[in-house]
Structure 1
Amino acid sequence: MSFGSPSPSSPLVLALLFSSPLLADDLFLDNESLPQVLTATRLKQSPAAVPGSMTVIDSELINASGARDISELLRLVPGMMVGNISGNQAAVNYHGTNATEARRMQVLIDGRSVYRAGLATVDWSDIPVAMEDIERIEVFRGPNTVSYGANALMAVVNIITRNPADSHGTRMKVTRGQRGIDDFYASQGVGWDGGDLRLSLSGQQDDGFDTDSSGADYRDSRRLNRFNLAVSQTLSENQSIDWQLNAKDGTNQRPYTYRPVFSGITAAGNNSDVVAKDYAGSLRWNLDINPDHSLYIQGSAQHWDRQQTWRACDAEVSFSPQLTELWQLNPNYTERLARNIERFTGPGAPAGTAAEQALGNQVLAQWRNGARQTLCGDIDQSARETRYDLELQDTLSLSDSLRLVSGMNYRYDRANSETYFNGTLDDTTWRAFGQLEWRATEHWLLQGGAMFEDTQLTGSSLTPRVAVNYLINPRHGLRAVYSEAIRSPDMFENNVNWSYQVTNLRPSAYGQTSARYFVKTRGPGDLEQERMRSRELGYNGYFAELGLTVDVKLFYDEISGMISEPLRNNQYIASNSNSSRFKGTETQLDWRLSSADRLRLTYAYVDAEASNPQDERLTARNSGSAGWLRNWGHGWNSALFYYGDDALNGYRFERVDTRIAKRIGLGKANLELAGVLQQRLDHQPTTFVDNNYDERRVLYFSAELTF
């Protein structure tokens, strides 16, 4: 399977070829229950009734894939662009936009957001949940601000963990392999009268990529350990509570990228690794008032701690008060002077305003009088973020044909960093949401919803969604959806106060052992929300006799007011002046050919146009996956997966993963031995030029014991 340039309509034609001859025979259904999803509207719905496109990665797929990371599983989602910033930093975007930052997708664990509002990112490898604890991943492919608020601009990924009641017993697993792969997992599940508990401990480590573009060793390994405790307790016939505690601790290596500004200075070369610590806790009270009316109240607290320090060297003049003043006056002028200072020591400061030249000449005098000596000091780029979240949701069946979900949410975010915010910055968000589902007739389903959101830093917004589903029968549905969505600029984009306090200076700078570096950046403070308008036509069908599920989507999305410019300390020009347009088609096919075989195919054609070229870089025009799962009997099973895209940030990606496993009964226990081989079919870097492996294949093995 290799990607060329097929017609955008080819997946739709493929689905119709499958569906047309079978539709007439499938109009009358038996009483077989239909699968249901929750993420789309917060209401339990069959896939044919959802007002949008859904992908569900179930536990069978998760296990068969052999994936060690959640980001790798998302390669199974059509239209999802999965790359790497470095070995321990995944870049995941739906349909695209900037390659280095994933700012436009909401990521949840059991409904709790893990999107960091302070620095606008999702730390995929640091999410404090083990792969073995995941029951399924529901992905809503499209804007869903209506249900989940700002940042659900392009997609929602909801990671749903296993119920403690389904986790009784002991489970232990170890994984070893090439590239320094060394993982472990252990869990214990117990139950009592009215309650269940699962405690799990897990760890991961690997060496990341081997070499950068120059052939030098690439410093991007990771080491992490996780703790998870999940408890469900029944209080009465109609009440229960669920609570979780999660923690993660580890180290992510970072390449040393600092380069001195002034000529003749040698970089210190120390590491700039990140010590990452995450803590989270949540408590949810569920109340079933009657069979048609239920509500829950959920509270959660999260803390992200990223400790990053390193030692850097530059010229003493870097801490000159006059150079700092000049930077505040004109960064571009200052950059030109600093990087070419030797050229101006004779003729004087470059041409500019009178104030610029006066300050420039003072800096040149300092340079000539000895301020060119090398100083080295410690830089602390640590950041800490905290979130408190409280949500009330009410679900009500008003009649057999009318359902309503509504609720309110309060969230408090605080970010603390001496480097990024010169202290502490906080934000509060209030939300009110509602979604109405009306079965107008046996075949017509009308849905509408809206989210009102007000944030302290960016103001208020109202985002709607309307959808019409025509249900040929409960298993087959056509849909037409229009929705609007927003993304609020995060604290870093809008309110950054970026400067470096360098400590332990040796020798001292202007008589001080601690001083501010001359580069200082302030965010604009007046950025507006990004806005998206989305139109979608689609079909979802389940052919029970064949075990075949098909979903097809045609889409046209427009984003305006995009914040796309580089957010670097020496080049920070954030604005709402950019826009993007995405159109194309997606399809996914899941076919249980027999009790032993399962076939799964996905494909996406995405045509992207953007005012900023960087927003097109992480959009592959053609991408997809193919998977074949086989149960051979006698405890043997295998899986074969293909993943590919024609150009992600300019680089082709094609890989084949093979997993073979054998399950052995040991009395009341079971032992599963498995091996995974990943083979790259291309010979290009992964997403960025510095991401290179010495070998195009990697092999790792696992042993899992359950009893």
Structure 2
Amino acid sequence: MLESYATRRTRSLASRTGPLVLLGLLALDVRAERGEADPFFGEIPMVLTASRLAQSPLDAPAPVTVIDREMIVASGFNEIHDLLRLAPGFLVADHPDGPPTVASHGLGDAHARRIKVMVDGRTINSPLWGNVIWDNLPLRVDDVERIEVVRGPNGAAYGVNAFQGVVNIITRAPSTESGRAFVVRAGRNGFRDYGVRLNGAGGGVFDWRLSASRRELTSFEPHYRARLGDWHSSESLTRNTAHFSSVLQLSAADELSLQVGVSEGSSQRGAEAYLDYPPHAEDDRALHLQAGWRRQVDAESVLSLQYFHQGERARGTWPVTQRHPTDPAVVVRFPASRDSEARRHDLELQYDTRLGRRLTGMLGIGLRSEHARSTHLFGTGKWLDSTHGQVFGSLTWSPLEPLKIDLGGTLEHHDYSGRLFSPRLAINYALDADSALRLSTGTAYRAPSLMESRAFQTDREDDTIRRIGFRVFDPLQSERMRFVDLGYVAQLRPLGLNFDARVFREHYRRFIDDKSCVFGECPRAEPADYVPIDPGKKSFYFLNANDFRMTGAEFTVDWRKPGWGRAILSQAFIQIDRGEPYSDKDIPRSAPHSTTALLLIKDFPGRWQASLGYYHNGLYYWMNGGDIVPRTDRFDLRIARRFGPPGSDNEVSLTALSLKGRYADFHEDKFRHEPDLYLGVRIGW
């Protein structure tokens, strides 16, 4: 089983993390026999995402955290995006006016788009904003085997938009399960989650799995903001999801794979007090298709070809109401549509081989087309198209037994940014068989999204523009980051520890931000058909803003012993320089100085297990749509008991998420996230 890794800062941490480590050690039962073998430490696990090749974390050219299946189950999380709380430096927020948002080391907003997210190597970021529609993924937590998180820029392997990190959600292989299973979770806030899993016999020429689920939940109740005397949005979701996965072994050398997933449902959002966002329903649908061919050319060479398709559609229309600016007795009302549709097609060819006794290489080519349309977002009902091509590769040379030098890069051409090259040089030095140092440096880019390149977001009354939201005045340049990363990875077998640490510095240039203006004061003349319903209401335009530096340190300690339990502690410290006259004062405040994640897993006799999750963040700000999030300490608890034949996954569990109750999320004044308490049962046969 792959285990999680993270990073460590060298400055003193005793005052902040000592009590947490002590709590973890005291919580572990010491009744197990000391002579018991530990299968995890029999060999060093492999990771896939750092360089597109399977390799040890000791050899990886970038820092990687693995959130494995044991952590996924023990966390009690029933949404995939919540699992990223376990990765050091990652920030997760939910809000009732749109999908959840995830950022790494700050700089996040309602459409956080500086992390590339993949499922089994397939990019799932939306073609519109470049963010991820987390609550509409055609996957459930039960489908996930592990999540590999590259905690830093990785443009050398994946090109533009692998900017602050890469998240690769790796699904459970069909051969790992057989038979049938039924899963149900139910609890407060109307939470219902029903799922069924059907599997082939497993281990044959053709392995397959079909999973389907339906979930209902209320994540936000209407919130009254006393300071301003008004109410804010609520959110209730219903989602139906199905996912089919199969692998066909054509021969000893050739393998075909296929995945198809679909998610559809509605979201009830809005508030009575909002004239332009009243209670309403939004309908969403997502589809993905992934087909691949893999050939083992020889013992050390592999050729793979993959095709991906992603589709997403949103529907929503509700009345916009506004009192006339000079005569409050007059109320203007007209329907506003939020309909949008987007598609992506990807084709990727990759060849891995050994070029000599001390030299290995990888070379690939990828082609992508994206298509989107939305009268509301772009001011036209026509399809907008873009293309993207890239060539990527790496060479790993080992001139000495303990030394590995990795040189990689991606050359690409993007419709929104032109030609870009993202290089990386990484040097790994093995101190012994179980520990290594890593020094890496390189450049990464984030190309403007379709919205940042073509937006003309409007509300219209017949042929008249009554409101303008986001729009583009001037072409944007790509964001650029240059980075230096120093890391240490160790597997301390006598202590039963995995340890991963790093310190880093990142230089950001041409940061893409948005700025507000009101009617008559924007940088360009207003359209002739623009008759604002409220001339004082802000609209927003994109611009290349500040250059700045981010400095940080992270570590993770992962301790385990069979029969005792496991403790995973992750810590991150971030500082964004404050020396610039920032276009948005929230830029340096968008990263909390400290974040902590602690997951304790305790095995008890009688096949009982308990787990406790603790998640801390210092005060920070979500930008552009969000606001201050105060210092938060969140506790989660899960108690479970396995039953049925030995080795089966049959289980009954009780999970409490946010034991301290509701908490401020994304915007302290507006949103209070509801806690969860639910009972879960899984039965297989």
Taking structure 1 as the reference length, the TM-score comes to: 0.83
1-structure distance, mates of 2:180, 2:191 = 23
Tell me the SS of whatever aligns to 1:545.
helix
Q: 1:376 to 1:171 in 2, by over 3 A?
A: same
Matched ranges for 1:384-423 at <5 A: 384-421=341-378, 422-423=380-381
1:87, CA displacement in angstroms? 8.1
Q: Aligned residue for 2:521?
A: none
RMSD over aligned CA atoms reads: 2.8
- Residue-by-residue CA offset, 1:152-175 (whole Å, 9 max, x unaligned): 100000000000011211111110
Of 527, 531, 551, the match for 1:583: 551
- Residue-by-residue CA offset, 1:246-274 (whole Å, 9 max, x unaligned): 00001123325996xxxxxxx37643432
The alignment status of 1:528 with 2:477, answered yes or no, reads yes
The alignment status of 1:623 with 2:620, answered yes or no, reads no
Tell me the SS of whatever aligns to 1:614.
coil
Of 541, 545, 565, the match for 2:490: 541
The alignment status of 1:706 with 2:684, answered yes or no, reads yes
Of 379, 386, 392, the match for 1:433: 392
Matched ranges for 1:362-511 at <5 A: 374-421=331-378, 422-423=380-381, 424-502=383-461
Q: 1:690 to 1:203 in 2, by over 3 A?
A: farther
Tell me the SS of whatever aligns to 2:250.
strand
1:633, CA displacement in angstroms? 2.5
The residue type equivalent to 2:637 in the other structure is T
The residue type equivalent to 2:189 in the other structure is R
Q: 1:170 to 1:691 in 2, by over 3 A?
A: farther
The alignment status of 1:150 with 2:176, answered yes or no, reads no
Of 239, 250, 270, the match for 1:255: 270
The residue type equivalent to 1:473 in the other structure is D
Matched ranges for 1:271-290 at <5 A: 271-290=279-298
Tell me the SS of whatever aligns to 1:207.
strand
- Residue-by-residue CA offset, 1:178-213 (whole Å, 9 max, x unaligned): 122111111100047411000000122211122324
Q: 1:136 to 1:269 in 2, by over 3 A?
A: closer
1:634, CA displacement in angstroms? 1.5
1:35, CA displacement in angstroms? 0.3
1:687, CA displacement in angstroms? 2.8
1:587, CA displacement in angstroms? 0.3
- Residue-by-residue CA offset, 1:543-599 (whole Å, 9 max, x unaligned): 223321000110111111011124799422311122332112100010114433111
Q: Which has the higher helix share?
A: 1
- Residue-by-residue CA offset, 1:594-631 (whole Å, 9 max, x unaligned): 43311111100111236232323431111111121111
The residue type equivalent to 1:547 in the other structure is G
Q: Is the 8 A contact 2:471 2:542 kept in 1?
A: no
Q: Aligned residue for 2:29?
A: none
Q: What runs of 5+ residues in structure 2 fail to find an aligned partner?
A: 1-7, 22-39, 518-536, 622-627
Q: 1:257 to 1:434 in 2, by over 3 A?
A: farther
Q: 1:304 to 1:648 in 2, by over 3 A?
A: same
1:436, CA displacement in angstroms? 1.1
Q: 1:308 to 1:584 in 2, by over 3 A?
A: same
1-structure distance, mates of 2:480, 2:108 = 16
Of 86, 92, 101, the match for 1:82: 92
1:692, CA displacement in angstroms? 4.8
Matched ranges for 1:102-501 at <5 A: 102-191=112-201, 193-214=204-225, 216=231, 218-256=233-271, 267=275, 270-314=278-322, 339=325, 341=326, 374-421=331-378, 422-423=380-381, 424-501=383-460
- Residue-by-residue CA offset, 1:434-492 (whole Å, 9 max, x unaligned): 11111111111101111111012321101100011111123200011102100000110
- Residue-by-residue CA offset, 1:664-705 (whole Å, 9 max, x unaligned): 21699763110012335598522312555597x542110110
Return the index of the structure with the highest Cα Rg.
1
Matched ranges for 1:561-580 at <5 A: 561-566=510-515, 570-580=538-548
Q: Aligned residue for 1:655?
A: 634
Q: Aligned residue for 1:689?
A: 668
The alignment status of 1:634 with 2:593, answered yes or no, reads no
Q: 1:489 to 1:208 in 2, by over 3 A?
A: same
Q: Is the 8 A contact 2:272 2:279 kept in 1?
A: no
Greater alpha carbon shift after TM alignment, 397-406 vs 573-582: 573-582
1:151, CA displacement in angstroms? 1.0
The alignment status of 1:557 with 2:506, answered yes or no, reads yes
Tell me the SS of whatever aligns to 2:72.
helix
The residue type equivalent to 1:654 in the other structure is D
The alignment status of 1:607 with 2:607, answered yes or no, reads no
Q: Is the 8 A contact 1:11 1:586 kept in 2?
A: no
- Residue-by-residue CA offset, 1:401-460 (whole Å, 9 max, x unaligned): 211111000000011101111122111000000111111111111011111110123211
Tell me the SS of whatever aligns to 1:120.
coil
1:39, CA displacement in angstroms? 0.2
1:115, CA displacement in angstroms? 0.5
Q: 1:447 to 1:310 in 2, by over 3 A?
A: same
Of 30, 44, 49, the match for 2:59: 49
The residue type equivalent to 1:557 in the other structure is E
The alignment status of 1:71 with 2:81, answered yes or no, reads yes
Tell me the SS of whatever aligns to 1:573.
strand
Q: Is the 8 A contact 1:393 1:405 kept in 2?
A: yes
1-structure distance, mates of 2:634, 2:430 = 38
2-structure distance, mates of 1:181, 1:45 = 40
Greater alpha carbon shift after TM alignment, 571-580 vs 390-399: 571-580
2-structure distance, mates of 1:617, 1:45 = 37
Taking structure 2 as the reference length, the TM-score comes to: 0.85
Q: Is the 8 A contact 1:652 1:682 kept in 2?
A: no
